[in-house]
Structure 1
């Protein structure tokens, strides 16, 4: 499982052999079955999770019982209710596995200690947070300005490898569309090709 983490780290920072030996000591591993929760709304988020295998979704459920997906986390992605993790308050997000998955978990105390003992990790997480902010800004702009067809086309372009692994109704939830709208868009794409 650590190969995926090291590949991800080395895409963004340079790691010494000493750092590579130390980093695994800060993590624990967990296997999740399909539909198994990593975190439920109302719990305290005790860990950041790195997805080594599989896909998880992060979401809220509204008063009508509708699921609103904020993130799909596939191999090489991190997922958590970050505010809950940082300020130790109850999570507003739920996170569960879309398919059988394996994650590396780091607790808040281990996260803080990792940043002290392996200082280059501070740079790694800063890069992640910057990228996350840019992605959220772009998603908000897209949500407010693009048509349903444009949203779906953009999703397929950004995430071609996971669009075949995720059920259509979940993609619809992520895009703020109905499954029927996704079906119509797909039908139009087929007809136009």
Structure 2
């Protein structure tokens, strides 16, 4: 199992070797080729995704087929259509690999099992969602107030 996820968790929690083994036992690895899809709009989703290698873009498609890129994620990031995963509804977003990408999926059911067995993960995922909410808010403000050239320049920094 890739150690990228355990290093990510170690930023917030100290796990015993048994707990580390339990965490990794809950994850489902997948390889996504370049320009392949981690998730496509309309697909059912009940999992969160951790990127161990690669880069993914998230976009929404309007009624005319126009894509609007919402964000990018790299290795070491938790990612996905969280709103759909939590609600158990079909994905509203598409996640596409921009290069060969390896991911680990954690189903919502297994997330519940993880938090029940290792309660510290409640805090871990609260912080994760809290930080995601803050990032989402910053991105929304950037879309409203900065021209595309400025957003791109900030992205490249």
TM-score scaled by structure 1? 0.76
Which of the two has higher C-alpha Rg? Answer: 1
Cα deviation digits, residues 48-98 of structure 1 (max 9, x gap): 110000111221111222111122121011121112111111111111211
Q: Which runs of 5+ in 2 are unaligned?
A: none
How far apart are residue 143 of structure 1 and its match? 1.5
Structure 2 matches for 1:51-90, cutoff 5 A?
51-90=51-90
Quote the Cα distance in structure 1 between the aligned partners of 2:67 and 2:145. 22
Structure 2 matches for 1:90-129, cutoff 5 A?
90-129=90-129
Quote the Cα distance in structure 2 between the aligned partners of 1:9 and 1:59. 27
Quote the Cα distance in structure 1 between the aligned partners of 2:69 and 2:148. 16
The answer (yes or no) to whether the contact 1:51–1:76 under 8 Å persists in 2 is yes
Quote the Cα distance in structure 2 between the aligned partners of 1:31 and 1:132. 24
The answer (yes or no) to whether the contact 1:55–1:75 under 8 Å persists in 2 is yes
Partner of 1:33: 33
Higher relative contact order (CA 8 A, sep 6+): 2
Count residues with an aligned counterpart: 157
Quote the Cα distance in structure 2 between the aligned partners of 1:85 and 1:17. 29
Quote the Cα distance in structure 2 between the aligned partners of 1:78 and 1:67. 22
Q: Give the direction of change, closer, same or farther, for the CA distance of 1:97–1:87 in structure 2 (3 Å limit).
A: same
The answer (yes or no) to whether the contact 1:37–1:95 under 8 Å persists in 2 is yes
Structure 2 matches for 1:1-193, cutoff 5 A?
1-157=1-157
Cα deviation digits, residues 100-122 of structure 1 (max 9, x gap): 11101111211110111111111
Q: Which runs of 5+ in 1 are unaligned?
A: 158-193
Higher helix share: 1
Q: Extract structure 1 runs of 4+ deviating beyond 3 A.
A: none
Quote the Cα distance in structure 2 between the aligned partners of 1:83 and 1:38. 16
How far apart are residue 12 of structure 1 and its match? 2.2
The answer (yes or no) to whether the contact 2:48–2:78 under 8 Å persists in 1 is yes
Give RMSD over aligned pairs: 1.4
